[in-house]
Amino acid sequence: MGKALSRGMVLVMSIWDDTAVNMLWLDSTYPVGSTAPGAERGPCATTSGVPSETRAKYPDSLVKYMNIKVGTIGSTTKQPEVIV
């Protein structure tokens, strides 16, 4: 993770649910039952993420994204002083 962060990353935020494959591609094993390299993408059960169940369980859920800054890497934060 440290090496990846040093190369720079892009923050992506999205709000949606996936009725086709229950978001399994994001944090579970997808395709379900696959043992191919890269199929296991996270710890969530392949039975999880069913949109209708989530909507029923959390009917009033919401999200707020706040204080988001956009710019070239390193341009949106104060850079530390470098003493040589």
**Is residue 73 predicted with pLDDT exceeding 80?**
no
Percent helix / strand / coil, the chain, rounded to 5? 20, 0, 75
Question: Among all chains, which residue has been given the structure tokens 């039952």?
Answer: 33
The mean per-residue pLDDT over the stretch 43-52 comes to: 92
Listed by start position, the domains of the chain span 1-70
Question: Does the reported pTM lie above 0.85?
Answer: no
**CB-based contact 46:24 (threshold 8 Å):** yes
